[in-house]
A and B are shown apart, each in its own frame.
Chain A
Amino acid sequence: MQEKNRGLALFTFLVFLFLLGPLLIISVTSFEGGNILKFPPEEFSLRWYENIFNVEMFLISFKTSILVSLAGNLLALLLGVPAAYALSRFDFKGKTIINAFFVSPILVPGIVLGFAFLRYIVGTYQLPIYAALFVGHTVIMLPFIIRVISSSLSNFDFSIEEAAESLGASKVGTFFTVVLPNIKSGILAAVMIAFLESFNNVDISVYMTGPGVSTFPIQMLTYVENYFDPTISAISVLLMIITAFFMFIVERLMGLSYFTKR
């Protein structure tokens, strides 16, 4: 028994090493003092972290990314909260089909979805690049919003709604005074997960960025193609920290069980 456990521990360690090793190496290389990305680093320095803020395109694309993610998030919420509510609250014909339809963007490969957007949003409808990014990102975020909020609503006891109505609240009033406050943390978690999904997205953004307009991850790709210095390592470390922080908050709000559930 003891023997077996030791074997398991070793196996687990190796899996983690395999998963986290590259990230560890990236983290270490970000502190390189020299001009070329290499491992192990020769001298310690924070100059590449500083360099992030000196590259203008990073700052501009960062703003673009934030803007697109936040605006898309807002629209996805306005569409996703009512959708999640209706799907959890009511039974109706075709519910499973609609459910499947709402999560379908997760199932379709991003690279395919991106091409479809390029073809129709940019090609057929001739939307400007910003608008195309905005629409595209709303569509990627929507399934996450709907899924996380649905999962939050699955713990919601709808007889509370009836209680509020019997005390004199209208249907709309009930939604705002009783339903919303109780799924607040679910909504916040949904916003964060969707934000990460959108902010880190490459495969769809890559079709919809063009001269002068770029999202942050796309800008990183462009940079790597031209420079070999450890700036990208430094950015990667910052992105990992932000992501980990967001996920920590999501875990605090409603647990990560949503990733394993349903």
Chain B
Amino acid sequence: MALFTLQDISVAYNKQNILKDFNLEIEKGKLVSLLGPSGCGKTTTLRLIAGFLQANEGKFLFKDKDYTKVPVNKRNFGFVFQNYALFPHLSIFDNIAFGLRLRKISKSEIEKRVMNVLEIVNLKGFEKRYPQELSGGQKQRVAIARALVIEPDILLFDEPLSNLDANLRVNMRVEIRRIQQELGITTVYVSHDQEECFSISDQVAIMNKGVIEQLSDPASIYKYPETKFVADFIGFKNFIDFDKRVDHEDKIELSKSGYVFVIQKDAQMINLSGKIGAIRPDDLLIRAKDISEVVSENSISGRVKVSTYLGRSFQYVVETPIGDFTVNKEMTESYRAGQEIVLEIPRNQMVLVD
């Protein structure tokens, strides 16, 4: 059963719709991320759940109760900010104890709970320091501790790692996932970093222009994007807009300008209606063309337009009769610009999207 539900929510700002008829259900104990480019409405959604923002239309249900008009300070949701938002005039102990003091909890109980949460975030011994004395990673741990200690019903993260450097980001996201699973706390996590979301989430919602394009577990999204936007967002660089599609028992035959491609039918492939083929640059096969070669199934000949050195591999932009393709190929051999080559799309590497 869903712990909370956003029902037909609309949010407009300066007469511009940020969210329109938005629906989202989140189950208890799950970590769900909202992922998307800036301006897609992910932060708006999060702020709406927190109560910082009121929807123009729609309802927010929490445990089947109408929470739409409940003010922020009565919701008992923890919020972790991108810029930490620690209270600069309070020590780490007092920062964390802030929410507990408002709940009229006894002094000894506050002490116990603050110490306990400091241990969870690995910051024992820091209670007397002030926020200015901590590094970015430590500050974010304090912010998480402060949100955790009130035993919130939902924990909300707004791009919590984007101010940290790359190494720390990886450590912190593992940490966040560990804490979330240990405490079994329902969490909504907003980020624009795909790897970050995929690595820690039970479910990922890919958002675009105020709409969820796809909501499912990370592996399914990675392998079977349903829409062109999702496919593009997670790295399917190449798209073929087919003219014709013929379904067979175990395969689908697609054609564009007379070139025919076959893809394997897969039980997990959810979207069977699309006519746009999507394939990652890493999954395309490229080889030099022999003069006498007759191009076989699922292949098309073309010419290298641009060759870029990426370190571990080369990236080629290949011109073909049905459009340009981007291909990554490990460095064993390189092709020059202008060279004739053959591209092959393996039967099981292309997906169909709307």
Asked whether B102 lies within 8 Å of A182 as measured between CB atoms, the reply is: no
Least distance between B235 CB and chain A CB atoms (Å): 32
A57 CB within 8 Å of chain B: no
Interface residues, chain B, with chain A CB atoms under 8 Å away: 50-52, 71-79, 81, 83, 85-89, 98-99, 102-103, 143, 146-147, 150
A164 to B88, CA, bound (A): 12
Q: Is A255 an interface residue (CB 8 A)?
A: no
Tell whether A167 pairs with B98 under 8 Å between CB atoms, given A162-B52, A182-B88, A182-B89: yes
* CB neighbours of B86 from chain A (8 A): 160, 163
Pull 9 A–B residue pairs with CB atoms less than 8 Å apart, ordered by A. Answer: A160-B88, A162-B50, A163-B79, A163-B85, A165-B73, A166-B75, A167-B147, A181-B89, A182-B88
Known contacts A167-B102, A168-B102; is-contact A162 B89 (Cβ 8 Å): no
Main secondary structure of the interface of A (DSSP, over half): helix
Q: Are B102 and A166 in contact (CB under 8 A)?
A: no
What's the minimum C-beta distance from B120 to chain A, rounded to whole angstroms? Answer: 17
Q: Which A-B residue pairs are the 3 nearest by beta carbons?
A: A167-B99, A163-B85, A166-B79
| Contact between chains at B150 and A168 (CB < 8 Å) | yes
Cβ proximity bits A171-198 to B, threshold 8 Å, 1 near / 0 not: 0010001100110100000000000000
A165 to B75, CA, bound (A): 10
In the complex, chain A residues whose CB is within 8 Å of the CB of B72: 162, 165-166
Total count of chain A residues near the partner, CB < 8 A: 18
Known A162-B72, A162-B79; contact A167-B85, beta-carbon cutoff 8 A:
no
A175 nearest CB across to chain B (Å): 13
Known: A157-B85, A160-B87. A166 touches B77 (CB 8 A): yes
State which residues 114-170 of A face B: CB under 8 Å.
Answer: 157, 159-160, 162-170
B99 touches A168 (CB 8 A): yes
* 7 additional contacts (CB under 8 A) given A163-B86, A167-B146: A162-B81, A163-B79, A166-B78, A167-B73, A168-B74, A168-B76, A168-B102
- With beta carbons under 8 angstroms apart, the residue of A160, A163, A169 that contacts B102 is A169
Smallest Cβ distance from A253 to chain B, in angstroms? Answer: 14
Does the CB pair A166–B50 fall under 8 Å? yes
**Which residues of B lie under 8 Å from residue A177 when comparing CB positions?**
98
Q: Which residues of B contact A162 (CB under 8 A)?
A: 50, 52, 72, 79, 81, 85
Min CB distance A93 to B, Å, is: 13
Query: Which residues from A are CB-within-8-Å of B89?
Result: 181-182, 184
B44 to chain A, nearest CB (A): 14
Most chain B beta carbons < 10 A, residue from A159, A165, A167, A178? A167
- Closest B-chain residue to A170, C-beta based? B73
Q: Which residues of B contact A182 (CB under 8 A)?
A: 87-89
| Complex Cα gap A165–B70 (Å) | 12
Closest to A174 in B: B73
- B81 contacts across to A, CB distance below 8 A: 159, 162-163
Given contacts A164-B98, A167-B150, contact A159 B83 (CB under 8 A): yes
Chain A minimum-CB-distance residue to B150: A167
Most buried by B among A162, A164, A168, A169: A168
How many whole Å from A132's CB to the nearest CB in chain B? 40
Q: Which residues of B contact A163 (CB under 8 A)?
A: 79, 81, 85-87, 143, 146
Q: Which residues from A are CB-within-8-Å of B150?
A: 167-168
Q: Distance in Å from the Cβ of B149 to the closest Cβ of chain A?
A: 9
Residues of B within 8 A of A167 (CB): 73, 98-99, 102, 146-147, 150
